[in-house]
Structure 1
Amino acid sequence: MKLIFAGTPDFAAAALQALITAGHEIALVLTQPDRPAGRGMKLMASPVKQLAEKHGLPVYQPEKLRSPEQQAPVAAIAADAMVVAAYGIILPQAVLDMPRLGCLNIHGSLLPRWRGAAPIQRAIEHGDAETGITIMQMDAGLDTGAMLSLHPVTIAADETTRSLHDKLAECGAEAIVAALANLPALQAGAVAQPTEGVTYAEKIRKDEAALDWTLPAETLARRIRAFDPFPGCTTRHGEETLKCWAARAEAGNGAPGQVLAADADGVLVGTGSGVLRVTEWQRPGSKRLPSREFLAGGKLQVNDKLL
């Protein structure tokens, strides 16, 4: 097919590569404008743009797609379909109507659960046992379009957003290639999303990263996994802000935030219910370290208070 592809991060780049490999004509790639990143805050091209340029594909990077002038390069393609994956820019109805077969979205959850910006993180944070990929026919709503296909993925007990992201990116890449190969039949059998079971995955905010030790240990362990690799969960130890990158909930009791044990097996911390064994840490300006190496500095000890 003659396609337009719209996406920005690694999740989307996996799908773009699959479409290229499958032999589709990628007539235009839409991705967000280059953004400052890294310590030097230099302008960085998105993973999708980097892949597109590697394959010599035309790239268009509008800030928005609201005006006829902004939409003109999309209209000029006369595409069979547009594939959208984690693009990050709202597509107005005029753009959705431009491709002959409409716009297809690769969404990282089993809709209608976890519509919105952070479906992978929220699924882990809330303890879901399963998530997946939905190939959806886009409409003007927020992930409200009819479902063309569903592809379940199990969430492992120790799953992080980093690991689940990679599973879903691979699943989404395979799913969109399969959907395009059978698109007329899938569109004829499209299923409207049920009104029951709708949840919204709000964008992750940095202010959510601070651990509240009065919460149950299991809740904290899930949040730590959900916020890896971004933004990373934090706690205060004296004047220092530490990041907690890996932890597991265990049976036990202790005052919330109190360090109950600190050894090579991890740092055991009291919570509102149960105890949390933190096994990977990071100090400001340092790298992630297992507890054995982290504790060698001698700054964190039994009976210390984490806030």
Structure 2
Amino acid sequence: MLQPLNIIFAGTPDFAAQHLAALIKSQHNIVAVYCPPDKPAGRGKKLTACATKMLALEHNLTVEQPINFKAVNEQQILAQYNADVMVVVAYGLLLPEVILNTPRLGCINVHGSLLPKWRGAAPIQRSLEAGDKKTGVTIMQMDKGLDTGDMILTAECAIEKTDTSASLYEKLAQLGPKALIDTLTLMSSNEHKATRQDNTLATYAHKLDKSEAEMNWLLTADELDRKVRAYNPWPVAQFTFSQGCTEKVKQHRIRIWQATIQPHTTTEPAGTIIASDKHGIVVATKTGAICLEVLQLPNKKPLPVQDILNSRGNWFTVGASINGEIN
């Protein structure tokens, strides 16, 4: 028979909230939910609660929002909950050792990769960008390192050639809660076993930077396709298009929301438009070509290329450079 655990949950975005939802439906007891302080959002900069806090309040759960855990009183407040385990999912705050050791069974984390591969802030995006064939979630016992704790349970899924960060995020949001509940079931009867990570196989998933989204046509079509999918929905792959004559040039930042690899063999320089019609704008790359299918012009919504060519067809003529000028 399952022995319910007293759980402190710590998380922030929707990914974390989906794990909290699974815990709410389980037989375990959630004694407190930890979230970062509310942040200003929108034009009015109104303080806005994160997805995890909103879900917790809907279910009348106690919510704590410390800035960090450096203050002794914050550490004491957490200890007073007498939790068996603390579950951490995309929380965004570093936990000091005193917090890691406070719950009876310590703290466990749901990480969006198959550790030790892709430790760090952006495992979903980096796995796509690298061309990995599979990914998954790892439930690990947290320690002082960054995603270096012993692994309790993993769940895998394939990365399809059409996956974006958004679609892969949803796949892991389905895998993670089940893996978490399975882990807690093992922990409740002290049947869980933890395996050390092989540090020699570790890779690091650096936080995304907007500058990385700039398309470099000297990369291969395969590399560019992976960048487009990895940076959807943020920061979105993009390029700068120059319009006008030499004396007066106007530059436009154009975002790429959807593209596909094309089997074209061309001798045209990378960045040259080799086809432009209702099916898309085909651009030569270092190896092969890539077809841009859904674009977003400045201050406009994303549109299929067919719609953009109806009004901006003279921007994307065959033979022109994608960063070239028009008269």
2:186 matched to 1:206?
Answer: no
In structure 1, what is the Cα distance between the partners aligned to 2:278 and 2:37? 45
Please list, as runs of the form range in 1=range in 2, the aligned pairs for 1:243-262 lying within 5 A after superposition.
243-251=255-263, 252-253=265-266, 254-262=268-276
Counterpart selection for 2:42 from 25, 38, 44: 38
Tell me if 1:269 matches 2:283.
yes
Q: 2:29 is matched with which residue?
A: 25
Partner of 1:115: 119
Counterpart CA distance in 2 for 1:197 and 1:223 is 23
> Is residue 179–residue 186 contact of structure 1 (8 Å, CA) maintained in 2?
no
Aligned to 1:197: 201
Contact 1:108–1:119 under 8 Å retained in 2:
yes
Q: TM-score if structure 2 supplies the norm length?
A: 0.90
CA drift of 1:288 comes to 1.3
Query: 2:228 touches 2:257 (CA, 8 Å); kept in 1?
Result: yes
Partner of 2:321: 305
Q: Which runs of 5+ in 2 are unaligned?
A: 243-250
Q: After the TM superposition, which residues 59-138 of structure 1 pair with which residues of structure 2 at under 5 Å, given as runs?
A: 59-138=63-142
TM-score by length of 1: 0.96
Structure 1 window deviating more from structure 2 (21-30 vs 237-246): it is 21-30
Q: SS of 2:200's equivalent?
A: coil
State how far apart, in whole Å, the 1-side matches of 2:40 and 2:297 are. Answer: 24
- Gaps of at least 5 residues in structure 1 are none
Amino acid at match of 1:82: M
C-alpha deviation, 1:196, in angstroms? 2.5
- Distance change >3 Å, CA 186–CA 284, structure 1 → 2: farther
Deviation beyond 4 Å, 4+ runs, structure 1: 184-188
Whether 1:8 and 2:12 are equivalent positions in the alignment is: yes
Distance in 2 between residues matched to 1:158 and 1:188, nearest whole Å = 36
Helix, strand or coil at the partner of 1:285: coil
Structure 2: how far apart are the matches of 1:163 and 1:177?
A: 22
Q: In structure 1, how many angstroms separate the alpha carbons of the residues matched to 2:166 and 2:260?
A: 17
Amino acid at match of 2:302: R
Alignment deviations for residues 71-90 of structure 1 (CA, whole Å, 9 cap, x no partner): 23211111010000111110
Contact preservation (8 Å) 1:7, 1:13: yes
Q: Does the 8 Å contact 1:149/1:186 carry over to 2?
A: no
Task: Note if contact 2:275-2:281 (Cα within 8 Å) is conserved in structure 1.
Answer: yes
Q: CA deviation at 1:40?
A: 4.2
Change (3 A) 1:186 1:163: farther
> Which residue, out of 241, 250, 267, partners 2:253?
241
Mapped to 2, the partners of 1:32 and 1:261 lie a distance apart of 49
2:304 corresponds, among 278, 285, 290, to: 290
Amino acid at match of 1:95: I
Give the distance between the partners of 2:202 and 2:133, measured in 1 at CA. Answer: 17
What displacement does 1:193 show?
0.5
CA change 1:235–1:186 in 2 (3 A) is farther
The answer to whether the Cα contact below 8 Å between 1:148 and 1:187 also exists between their aligned partners in 2 is no
Distance in 2 (CA, whole Å) between partners of 1:39 and 1:223 is: 30
Contact map agreement 1:109 1:134 (CA 8 A) in 2: yes
CA RMSD of aligned residues (A): 1.5
* Identity fraction in percent: 42
Deviation at 1:21, TM superposition (A): 0.6
